[in-house]
A and B are shown apart, each in its own frame.
Chain A
Amino acid sequence: MGQYTASELWSITAMQSFAGFSLFSVLLLMALGLAIIFGQMGVVNLAHGEFMALGAYTVYLCSQLAHNYAPALIPVYFLFAIVAAFLASAIAGLFVEWSLIRFLYKRPLDTLLATWGLSLIMQQLFRTIFGAREVTPTLPDWLMGSFKPSESIDIPINGVFVMALTLALTGGVWLFMYRSRLGLRMRATVQNRNMSGAVGINTRWVDRLTFALGCGIAGVAGAAFTTIGSTGPDSGSRYIVDTFLVVVFGGTASLLGTIASAFGIAQAQSIFEFFLEGTMGKVAVLMTIVVILMIRPKGLFANKVRS
Chain B
Amino acid sequence: MLTVSNLQVGYGLSRVIQDVSFTVGNEEILAIMGRNGMGKSTLLKALVGMHPSKSGHIKVDDVELQDAPSFERVRQGIAFVPQGRMIFPYLTVVENMMTGARGEVEQSTFDEIYTLFPVLHEMRKRKGGNLSGGQQQQLAIARALMTNPKVLILDEPTEGIQPSIIKDIARALREIRKMRKISILVTEQVVSFMMDSCDRAIVIERGRFVHEANRADLDADKVKKLLAV
Contacts and interface: CB of A to CB of B under 8 A. Distances in A.
Most chain A beta-carbon contacts within 10 A, residue among B50, B70, B131, B146 = B70
Interface in A145-190: 181, 184-185, 187-188
A184 B70 contact: no
Interface residues of B, number: 30
Contacts of B88: 187-188, 191-192, 195
A185 B99 contact: yes
Given A184-B98, A187-B91, A306-B131, 15 more contacts: A184-B99, A185-B99, A188-B95, A192-B86, A194-B70, A194-B86, A195-B88, A196-B99, A198-B49, A198-B74, A199-B74, A200-B70, A200-B74, A200-B75, A200-B147
B129 A201 contact: no
12 contacts: A192-B86, A194-B86, A195-B82, A195-B86, A197-B69, A199-B143, A200-B147, A201-B71, A201-B99, A202-B69, A303-B90, A305-B130
Please name the 3 residue pairs, one residue from A and one from B, whose CB atoms are nearest each other, closest first.
A305-B129, A197-B70, A200-B74
Interface of B: 48-50, 69-71, 74-75, 79-80, 82, 86, 88-91, 95, 98-100, 102, 127-131, 143-144, 146-147
B89 A307 contact: yes
Contacts of A210: none
A192 B88 CA distance: 7
B82 A198 contact: yes
Contacts of B144: 199
A246 interface: no
Contact of B71 (A181, A187, A191, A203): A203
Contacts of A307: 89, 129
Contacts of B86: 192, 194-195
Contact of A198 (B80, B129, B131): B80
Contacts of B131: 306
A179 to B, nearest CB: 11
A184 B91 contact: yes
Interface of A: 181, 184-185, 187-188, 191-192, 194-203, 253, 303, 305-307
Contact of A199 (B89, B90, B99, B128): B99
B91 A198 contact: no
A194 B98 contact: no
Nearest to B143: A199
Nearest to B80: A198
Contacts of A303: 90
Contacts of A192: 86, 88
Contact of B50 (A188, A198, A202, A253): A198
A197 B49 contact: yes
A196 B70 CA distance: 9
A307 B89 CA distance: 7
Nearest to B98: A184
A188 B86 CA distance: 11
A47 to B, nearest CB: 28
A191 B50 contact: no
B178 to A, nearest CB: 24
Nearest to B126: A305
Most chain A beta-carbon contacts within 10 A, residue among B69, B88, B100, B129 = B88
A303 B127 CA distance: 10
A197 B129 contact: no
B128 to A, nearest CB: 8
